[in-house]
A and B are shown apart, each in its own frame.
Chain A
């Protein structure tokens, strides 16, 4: 095994651990809606929510890096340039994440000064990590870019997938620099902040996951390189074509010029079209292989990715992306429902698919299957569906009672929060959150044990 692949295993292990912390913090955040006094004065809602959304970003990022560190040496036929530096930075990255989490939990907030921005909390959603940690992320991403570009240069071996990946590294790195400014004009600050949040997620991450899925398809179904590269180009072009200016749907009500209503609405409305193409592609692949594969969990998680992306991004997003509806729905639990579903479908399912693929290679399994993965697959996906369904109903109640009827006053806000549809939806969300957590436990147990029993039996037979 290449050293890069050993590093990949570390990244994937860290990712799955952070996935667990994200789940616990998410359950806590959900419980505050049922019992607002929970841990009051000790660990308030805002901190649990920060932990939930920040670990979501970090576990997915580590999952992507793990997947790329796994596939790249096979792609280049050698270990990566600068792998020692990447190994060191992995531990620095993990330590930084731990320190930031401890500061969030123990210190929680500082004053309105530079010191707080540098060492406690930047106060910007998704990039709350203090500046020193944000600098650390830039360094990690720079080394990651060096590993990829340096190896490509050393081998002079650039495939279509690695070419797309290398181009994507530029915006991946440059857009993260948006994590640093602290503009006093709220509109200007949000304008640039969305470049980081939306363009990272709906542009650069989409390309990263496209590359990862291309390698996964080649290994999982034996699809030829020529086909996956052709479809990678088409799908990346379509997703970027609609996704980049789809950024406009975040600019609707933050003080930007009115033309963003048209641009954002138009390009967001086009976003479901390529997602439908991806669903058809996934069904085609599944059908032509008669649902037969040597790694069923990886295959099913890949299918879940295509459907989850279409439902979470396409159907859920289209419900409220047009400005006239968005005026009432923006920032309610409706948005939260869409965010959960889209992140789960587009990214989490894909990372889990890669993890099963890596386990197969790692343990040398001819066939990966069993019962536990089905339980975890069902519990995680039903958990997500239940949560996003409940959040959607809560969002309807907020948009209807608080915004449309109440006119967004403070009193209307309180009425919306007290509405039985909202209250019961929050309880339902928590119950499905518990189901999701159970699915996570089953998933981890499956990762630890799948195929091992068969290996032990094979070893015993060989010994006899």
Chain B
């Protein structure tokens, strides 16, 4: 790994998780407020997260296994907010009914 490659890789990895968090945050806010603009924002953030994942795969000197993990994690990050939201709704709905 080159000196610049080290910092680039680290910053991209940090950005990768931060954007996933931003997507989750915006997605949840969008569902709470039922706001289309926030929904779009969440998917823009996920798009940027995806681009960061591609940049990590293409530009960083990480080994192939770690790059595969990055792609797999991106898929998981996409699913976590809607799945968590649905499950939260389900548990709270049954609570109200109960």
- A residues with CB within 8 A of B: 224, 226-227, 230-231, 262, 265-266, 269-270, 272-273, 276-277, 279-281, 283-284, 287-288, 310-311, 314-316, 318-320, 322, 324-325, 328-329, 396, 399-400, 404-405
Contact = CB atoms under 8 A, between A and B. Distances in A.
Interface residues of B, number: 40
B62 A324 contact: yes
Main secondary structure on chain A at its contact with chain B?
helix
Contact of B6 (A230, A288, A399): A399
A227 B92 CA distance: 7
Contacts of B2: 404
Contacts of B33: 287
Nearest to B82: A280
A400 B6 contact: yes
Contacts of A284: 28, 32, 84-85, 88
A280 B24 contact: yes
B88 A226 contact: no
B80 to A, nearest CB: 5
Contacts, number: 112
9 nearest interchain CB pairs? A287-B32, A319-B14, A404-B3, A283-B28, A318-B17, A280-B84, A315-B17, A319-B10, A315-B18
B37 interface: no
Interface string B57-98: 000011101100100010011001100110010011001001
Interface of B: 1-3, 6-7, 9-11, 13-14, 16-18, 20-21, 24-25, 27-29, 32-33, 61-63, 65-66, 69, 73, 76-77, 80-81, 84-85, 88, 91-92, 95, 98
Contact of B13 (A325, A399, A405): A325
B6 A279 contact: no
A433 B73 CA distance: 35
A319 B13 contact: yes
A230 B91 contact: yes
Contacts of B91: 226-227, 230-231
Contacts of B21: 272, 276, 279, 310-311, 314-315
